[in-house]
A and B are shown apart, each in its own frame.
Chain A
Amino acid sequence: MITGAAPAPAALPDESGHFGPYGGRFVPEALMAALDELEQAYADARADPAFGAELAELHRSYTGRPSPLTDAKRLSPHAGGARILLKREDLNHTGSHKINNVLGQALLTRRMGKPRVIAETGAGQHGVATATAAALLGLECCVYMGEEDTVRQALNVARMRLLGAEVVPVCTGSRTLKDAINEAMRDWVSTVDRTHYLLGTVAGPHPFPVMVRDFHAVIGQETRAQVLELTGQLPDAVAACVGGGSNAIGIFHEFIGEESVGLYGFEAAGDGVSTGRHAATLFAGSPGVLHGARSYLLQDADGQTAVTHSISAGLDYPGVGPEHAWLKDSGRAQYTGVTDAEAMEAFRLLCRTEGIIPAIESAHAVHGALQLGRRLGPDAVIVVNLSGRGDKDVDTAARWFDVVDEPASVREHTTGADRTEAGGVAAAPADVTVGAPGEQM
């Protein structure tokens, strides 16, 4: 724990991009000039009122901001009666919070005079958002995506291609998000003159963690005003899922200086942290350097990056943004793991109580909020960053809950009892069960 005279977290990073011991730049020298250029371009843009005005107008007329705050009254009883408020980033254009950062960086790309953007994507949400912004601003777009993710998120691959982006499946390493980032870095180092790497999370070398945070800070700023208006107080707790950590930083940042507001990040515990098949980087990892910055990561004794697992492609990442590492060490935010099964149960519950199909990533935060509510009691006000919608996950969820009708020829051989049993796998401590007995999903 870092205490005492440490700088206020809200004032970080320092000039060289450090959050205490975390952050910085660990990159090939060939990228240093591009990072300096980006840092300067971003500083100039921040100081230019026209840049901010253009971004704000895009968010109003294109993204659909401000995103609403939904009072989840039927979910509340499952959270010990605590008031659960959902920050609806799922309602943004393209279906997640990712568009906030993407539009900012795409405008910056145009400002730098570069005609091409590249991006990595895990669940496909950042890739879709980048392809969208590229179409909007007339930029070439190439998205790197782990081969395994292109299979489990096939719908998003199609969306990116419809938007005119090239999608490159990455077949190296674990064939997931971390390998897509490696491949995007390799592209960038070779094409940096005309290409901006539109990194999708608060990780990577400086200035990405601070820049991406700033573009997402609108989430927390809106949340503060909306919660005050609705409840007359600040929230007691803010909950968000954490993969790389962009949606979490986006909603946390506004509240870092508010000591009364608890900040809670929920990572993917996969099959359970004890099984080794998980992606709970802050909860179970150790400090190290990956993808250009020092932060926590999941690694073996030799510093090789560990293979991770999560049902959610967007959280299936062995690293995390350096500011989260700092928030963890300073004790300002708490991070815990949520298993696949727990997240899917929360997914089911949100569908059934509120009529909202969340992204599986966001369902991790919903589960976390339910636990928090039971601990904090019925007077608590808890905001959940509902970072994305679940359209992309319908196939995964349908298989998890076994709710897809099989063709009649197959169904004849499957008894209803079998299917009910399969549907009950996710289920359901008695106190959170909803719907009629025997109901599917």
Chain B
Amino acid sequence: MEPGGAIVIAAAFAGARAEGRAALIGYLPAGFPSFDGCVRALHAMVEFGVDIVEVGLPYSDPLMDGPTIQAAVDRALFAGTGTREVLATVGEVARSGVPVLVMTYWNPVERYGVTRFAAELADAGGSGVITPDLTPEEGGDWLAACDGAGLDPVLLVAPSSTDARLAKIASVCRGFVYAASTMGVTGARAAVSAVAPGLVARVREVSDLPVAVGLGVSNGEQAAEVASYADGVIVGSALVRALLDAPSEQAGVRAVSALAADLATGVRRRSERRRGAAD
């Protein structure tokens, strides 16, 4: 595994693109369902087709998250998961060879120390950080710290973002741009967003970075739909749900594996569609 996030995250997207498909990005909060259980589940995801891993930093006030992720995060916090455990989880999962990002609300980073957090995450093998409540306006120190540590900063765009803001946000992202597909919090939805394709298209007008879509994807069918217009498909709540609903950690890991396999098939179905269209 090479140090230097920019290389590996870009490589993961390039690899998927070379196969004519979207990249699959899977999320779990560290420490859920336990420290070891999370590591096992993330390794299982990678084994069954996840290209990029997102490790959530459990936070007491996750105001972008719906009930599913809140429940998982509460359990992780109750079990004593802190920033050190998150970094340790990254270290364990980075051995799988896929890029690992941390998804974190801003305050834990500021509290840990912006430069220290970036440096220690890079040392642990992390490739980037997704910050859902940090805007470019407030992110100056963080972007500099990411530069220094060779991490990819990933910020979010939303359907309500103006074109000017899309350009501004995309200009400070590296690795990819995270498109929040709906106006709302995280959580599996019956139908994926109708506004997401337009948002992805608008980002493409202002940036050459890959665009990954998150919020609401829960199965292979939906993954295929998103993969038909986006460079990456981000799945969180559905993977968490698979662990929450399982009678045991072992059963949970099996359920995560099965879901990852279904999603991985989904992101590959796009290539068949595309070839079909081209033919």
A binds B: yes
B66 within 8 A of A: yes
Q: Chain B interface: which of A25-33, A127-135, A413-421?
A: A25-33
Inter-chain contact B160/A30, CB cutoff 8 Å: yes
Q: Chain B interface: which of A154-162, A178-186, A243-251, A369-377?
A: A178-186
Query: Which one of B107, B109, B159 has the greatest number of beta carbons of chain A within 10 Å?
Result: B107
Q: Please encode chain B, from 195 to 223, with 1 for each CB lying within 8 Å of some chain A CB and 0 for all others.
A: 00000000000000000000000000000
Inside 8 A of B108's CB, which chain A residues have their CB? 302-304
> Residue of A at shortest CB range from B71?
A172
A291 within 8 A of B: yes
**Contact A190 to B155, CB < 8 A, known contacts A33-B162, A304-B60:** no
Bound complex: CA A350 to CA B135 (Å):
47
> Residue of A at shortest CB range from B160?
A33
**Contact A26 to B133, CB < 8 A, known contacts A186-B66, A289-B106:** yes
| A-facing residues in B148-201 (Cβ within 8 Å) | 155-162, 165, 169, 180, 183-185
Selected contact of B183 from candidates A26, A27, A192, A292, CB within 8 Å: A192
Selected contact of A29 from candidates B83, B106, B112, B135, CB within 8 Å: B135
Inter-chain contact B137/A299, CB cutoff 8 Å: no
Inter-chain contact A189/B77, CB cutoff 8 Å: no
A34 within 8 A of B: yes
**Contact A34 to B160, CB < 8 A, known contacts A302-B82, A303-B107:** yes
Q: What's the tally of chain B residues with a CB closer than 8 Å to chain A?
A: 39
Selected contact of A290 from candidates B62, B66, B107, B132, CB within 8 Å: B107
Bound complex: CA A289 to CA B111 (Å):
9
Bound complex: CA A156 to CA B258 (Å):
49
Bound complex: CA A369 to CA B107 (Å):
35
B145 within 8 A of A: no
Query: Which one of A27, A30, A289, A290 has the greatest number of beta carbons of chain B within 10 Å?
Result: A30
Instruction: Give the secondary structure class of A's interface.
Output: mixed
- What's the nearest-Cβ distance from chain A to residue B6, in Å? 22
Inter-chain contact A289/B165, CB cutoff 8 Å: no
Q: Please encode chain B, from 54 to 86, with 1 for each CB lying within 8 Å of some chain A CB and 0 for all others.
A: 000001111110100010001001000011000
Inter-chain contact B70/A29, CB cutoff 8 Å: no
Inside 8 A of B119's CB, which chain A residues have their CB? none
A301 within 8 A of B: yes
Bound complex: CA A179 to CA B160 (Å):
25
Inside 8 A of B158's CB, which chain A residues have their CB? 28-30, 32-33
- What's the nearest-Cβ distance from chain A to residue B37, in Å? 21
> Residue of B at shortest CB range from A172?
B70
B144 within 8 A of A: no
A66 within 8 A of B: no
Q: Please encode chain A, from 10 to 53, with 1 for each CB lying within 8 Å of some chain B CB and 0 for all others.
A: 00000010000000111111101110000000000000000000
Inter-chain contact A16/B64, CB cutoff 8 Å: no
Which 9 pairs across A and B sit closest by C-beta, in order of nearness? A303-B111, A30-B158, A303-B108, A33-B160, A190-B184, A302-B82, A305-B60, A289-B107, A29-B158
Interface residues of A, Cβ cutoff 8 Å to B: 16, 24-30, 32-34, 172-173, 178-179, 181-182, 185-186, 189-190, 192-193, 288-292, 297, 299, 301-305
A-B contact pairs, 19 of them (CB 8 A): A25-B137, A26-B133, A28-B63, A28-B156, A28-B158, A29-B155, A30-B183, A30-B184, A32-B158, A32-B165, A172-B74, A173-B60, A186-B63, A186-B66, A189-B183, A288-B111, A289-B110, A289-B133, A304-B82
